[in-house]
Structure 1
Amino acid sequence: MSLFVKQIIHNAERISIYSVEDIFAREALAYRELCPVFEDLQIEAGIPENERFKMVKKQECTKDVIILKNVCKKGYKTYYRMDVVSPKFAELAIKELARFHGLSLVLEKQRPKYFDEVFKCLKQPFIFGEAWNDFVGNVSKSSIKLLDDDKREKYGDKIMNIVHKYEDYISDTKHFSTLCHGDYKNCNIMVKEKNGACFEVLPIDFQILHYGCPINDLIYFIFTGTDQAFRKEHMENLKDLYYETLKNFVSNFGVRLTEVISKGEFDELFKSKLDFGLMINCFYVPFMFSAENDVPDVTEPLGDISFKTDERFGIRFREVVDDFIEWGYL
Structure 2
Amino acid sequence: MIESYECNSDAIILENIARNRFKSPYRMDVVPIQLLKVIISQLAKFHGLSFVLKHEKRDYFENKIETIKSPLHFDKNAWKDTNSEVVLIDYQFMFYASPIIDILYFIYTGTDGQLREAHMNELKDLYHTELTKFLQYFALNVNDIYPREVYEKDFQDSLDFGLMAALYVSPVIFTEEDVYPDFGKDDWSFKINKRHKERITQIVEEYLECGILN
How does the TM-score come out when normalised to structure 2? 0.86
Residue among 68, 71, 77 paired with 1:161: 77
Task: Please say if 1:276 is aligned against 2:192.
Answer: no
Counterpart residue identity of residue 4, structure 2: K
Q: For 2:123 and 2:44, how far apart are their aligned partners in 1?
A: 11
Aligned pairs for 1:110-121 (under 5 A) are 110-121=56-67
Shift of 1:162: 7.4
Shift of 1:67: 4.3
Name the SS for the 2:14 alignment partner.
strand
Aligned pairs for 1:136-285 (under 5 A) are 161=77, 163=79, 205-285=90-170
Shift of 1:230: 0.4
RMSD of equivalent CA atoms? 2.2
Q: Deviations over 1:170-215 (max 9, x none)?
A: xxxxxxxxxxxxxxxxx9xxxxxxxxxxxxxxxx653422111110
| Runs of 4+ residues over 6 Å off in structure 1 | none
Residue among 44, 57, 68 paired with 2:4: 57
Where does residue 320 of structure 1 map in the other structure? Answer: 203
Q: For 2:71 and 2:64, how far apart are their aligned partners in 1?
A: 15
The structure richer in strand per residue is 1
Counterpart residue identity of residue 161, structure 1: N
Residue among 79, 92, 98 paired with 2:38: 92
Q: For 1:260 and 1:62, how far apart are their aligned partners in 2?
A: 29
Task: Please say if 1:307 is aligned against 2:190.
Answer: yes
On the 8 A contact 1:162/1:275 being kept in 2, the answer is no
Task: Please say if 1:77 is aligned against 2:77.
Answer: no
Q: For 2:58 and 2:9, how far apart are their aligned partners in 1?
A: 25
Q: For 1:213 and 1:79, how far apart are their aligned partners in 2?
A: 27
Shift of 1:289: 0.7
Go from structure 1 to structure 2 and tell me whether the alpha carbon gap of 1:60 and 1:218 turns closer, same or farther (over 3 Å shift).
Answer: closer
Q: For 2:138 and 2:96, how far apart are their aligned partners in 1?
A: 21
Q: For 1:256 and 1:61, how far apart are their aligned partners in 2?
A: 31
Q: For 1:105 and 1:162, how far apart are their aligned partners in 2?
A: 34
Q: Deviations over 1:264-293 (max 9, x none)?
A: 221121011112111112121111111111
Q: Deviations over 1:80-100 (max 9, x none)?
A: 111101111111000000000
On the 8 A contact 1:296/1:305 being kept in 2, the answer is yes
Unaligned residue ranges in structure 2 (runs of 5+): 82-88
Q: For 2:53 and 2:103, how far apart are their aligned partners in 1?
A: 20
- Which gives a bigger RCO, structure 1 or 2 (Cα 8 Å, sep 6+)? 1
Name the SS for the 1:108 alignment partner.
helix
Where does residue 32 of structure 1 map in the other structure? Answer: none
Shift of 1:262: 2.0
Count residues with an aligned counterpart.
205
Shift of 1:61: 5.5
Name the SS for the 1:275 alignment partner.
helix
Residue among 101, 109, 114 paired with 2:47: 101
